[in-house]
Amino acid sequence: MIQLLQKLAEKEERIGIGLMSGTSVDGVDVAIVSVKGAGEMMSYKELAFENIAISGELRERIFRQFDPGASSVDALCSLNFELGEMFCKAAESVVKKHGFQVSDIDFIGSHGQTLYHIPVEEAGLVRSTLQLGEASVIAERFGCPVVSDFRVRDMAAGGGGAPLVPYVDYLLFRSDSESIALQNIGGIGNVTYLPAGCSAGQVVAFDTGPGNMIMDEAMSILSKGQAHYDDGGRVAAKGHADEEVLRELLGHPYFCLTIPKSTGREMFGASYTRELVGRLHSKGLSTADIMATVTKFTALTIIDQYMRFLGGPVDTLIVSGGGAYNATLLGYLRDSGTFEVKTQEDYGFSSDSKEAVAFALLANETLFGVQNNLPSATGARKPVVLGKLTV
């Protein structure tokens, strides 16, 4: 193994794959990148990106396991290997489609599929996290090192296991003259704040709260399963948000928690959204008004958390994730903030591929033994090297 890693380190340029399936479980993000160097000398180029759809049947079974009352040990055991196969097939399809060979791939970083995340002790449960998608399945098929299970080492060092992308944000976007907020809006929203001229220890990062999660679930409920998201925010754009409800929603305990902090489906998932949609429906709100309310709620949580915790001005907000394509959501952000709102596309990157690319780059750092968490973001006691290596 040592000889393999040494040979990999000696290559001037390495081809890596980043794999990611988020809390929305709408597909596997596969990014192929070329990487040179490591640490603050690292540079990369995105070579290919695809989102490979997850079948409705498998998505339903994954969602079933999100519910502690419905999950089972045998189903989790089987699902771990099935998701490993899913990630593997997704990667193989993108490699083939873009003219690469499996033998061209030097390493893979796979975040896996988060099944459950407990950032603080609760009801007799210790701080812990669980991502599925067996890395050995991927390593066996690709014959290259696979770095997986990125969150657990940070948690072992006292951190919350998230957010992890801020390390990459710091390497790629820090500026001497601008204070930049990078807001990812996937299922959950998370921000990386880079004050002008900041060092790694001055980066602020945390989960702002719900991203697309409530909007997507609400759309699914209101459409009776015919639509899984509000495409472009078009439905919300036709409605009017209930301001009274919005004020109440912003009183959720999560928004008062001090940073660093992280959250997930356990707090803002299906049960939360079902109760909220039922409440709004009972008030006589139309589908468009309900979607406008939950969409504006997402935007207001972001602004609220900036005001509470960033500790400085934002010159530019750069949005990524699926939320970057929701024009109504971006409009609410522009209306509520005092900053310029841009997307990853404005910088020549992709809002879709950001997290998959990030896990490829995090894997590169792991292979070089570079500490790649940011304690200022996760709350860990110290910097550590993230991930488990399978060869």
Phi, psi of 192 (to 5 degrees): -115, 125
What is Dmax (Cα atoms) for the chain?
Answer: 67
* pLDDT in the model for residue 111: 97
Model confidence, pTM: 0.86
d(CA 318, CA 183): 6
Domain ranges in the chain are 2-161+355-390, 166-347
Task: Check if the beta carbon of residue 212 is closer than 8 Å to that of residue 190.
Answer: no
The answer to whether the peptide bond before residue 253 is cis (omega within 30 degrees of 0) is no
Would you say the CATH fold of 166-347 matches that of 2-161+355-390?
yes
* pLDDT in the model for residue 140: 98
Burial of 288 (0-12, 13-18, 19+ CB in 10 A): middle
Q: Domain 166-347 sits in which CATH superfamily? A: ATPase, nucleotide binding domain (3.30.420.40)
Q: How far is CA 178 from CA 124, 172, 315, 316, in A?
A: 44, 14, 6, 8
The order of strands in the sheet holding 316-320 is 204-210, 188-194, 180-185, 316-320, 340-343
Reading the block at residue 192, the tokens are 């990386």
CATH number of 2-161+355-390: 3.30.420.40
* pLDDT in the model for residue 287: 98
The answer to whether the peptide bond before residue 145 is cis (omega within 30 degrees of 0) is no
Question: At 136, which amino acid appears?
Answer: S
d(CA 151, CA 130): 9
Reading the block at residue 292, the tokens are 């406008």
* pLDDT in the model for residue 216: 96
* pLDDT in the model for residue 375: 94
d(CA 202, CA 153): 21
* pLDDT in the model for residue 348: 84
* pLDDT in the model for residue 293: 98
Burial of 129 (0-12, 13-18, 19+ CB in 10 A): buried
Q: How many CB atoms lie within 10 A of CB 305?
A: 22
Give the DSSP per-residue string, 187-251.
SEEEEEEE-TT--GGG-EEEEEEESSHHHHHHHHHHTTTS-SS-GGGHHHHTS---HHHHHHHTT
Q: How would you label 68-103 residue by residue, b for 16+ Cβ within 10 Å and e otherwise?
A: eeeeeeeeeeebbebbbebbbebbbebbeeeebeee
d(CA 223, CA 8): 50
Backbone CA torsion sign across 156, 25, 267, 378: positive
Per-residue pLDDT in tens (0 to 9) along the chain, 391 residues? 778 888 888 899 999 999 999 877 889 999 999 999 999 999 999 999 999 999 999 999 998 898 888 888 999 999 999 999 999 999 999 999 999 999 999 999 999 999 998 988 888 999 999 999 999 999 999 999 999 999 999 999 999 998 899 999 999 999 999 999 999 999 999 999 999 999 999 999 999 999 999 999 999 999 999 999 999 999 999 999 999 999 999 999 999 999 989 888 889 999 999 999 999 999 999 999 999 999 999 999 999 999 999 999 999 999 999 999 999 999 999 998 789 999 999 988 888 899 999 999 999 999 999 999 999 999 999 999 999 999 9
326-331-334 Cα angle (round to 5): 130
d(CA 275, CA 122): 22
Reading the block at residue 385, the tokens are 């090297």
Reading the block at residue 184, the tokens are 């990812």
The DSSP secondary-structure symbol of 310 reads T
**Contacts with 355 (C-beta within 8 Å, 6 or more apart), sequence order:** 18, 20, 22, 29, 111, 165, 184, 186, 320, 321
